[in-house]
Amino acid sequence: MIKQGTVSMKKRSILSVLAAVLFSVVAITGTASAAPTPPQTDVTGVVTESQTAVAGASVTVVCNSHTLTDTTDAMGSYLVTFPSGNCPFGSTVKVTAEKDGRSGVKSGTVQGITTKLNLAIVNVEIPEYGLIGALTAGGAGIGMIGYVRRRQQQTQL
Residues 69-126 have pLDDT tens digits of 999 999 999 999 999 899 998 999 999 999 998 999 999 999 888 888 887 875 433 3
| Alpha carbon distance 43, 48 (integer Å) | 16
Residues near 76 by beta carbon (within 8 Å), at least 6 away in sequence:
46, 47, 48, 52, 53, 54, 55, 57
Cα angle 133-34-90, degrees, rounded to a multiple of 5: 50
pTM over 0.95: no
Residues near 124 by beta carbon (within 8 Å), at least 6 away in sequence:
104
Instruction: Give Dmax (Cα) for the chain.
Output: 78
Residue type for 133, please?
Answer: G
Please choose, from the candidates 92, 114, 106, 94, the residue with its C-alpha nearest in 3D space to the C-alpha of residue 30.
114
Amino acid 114: pLDDT: 82
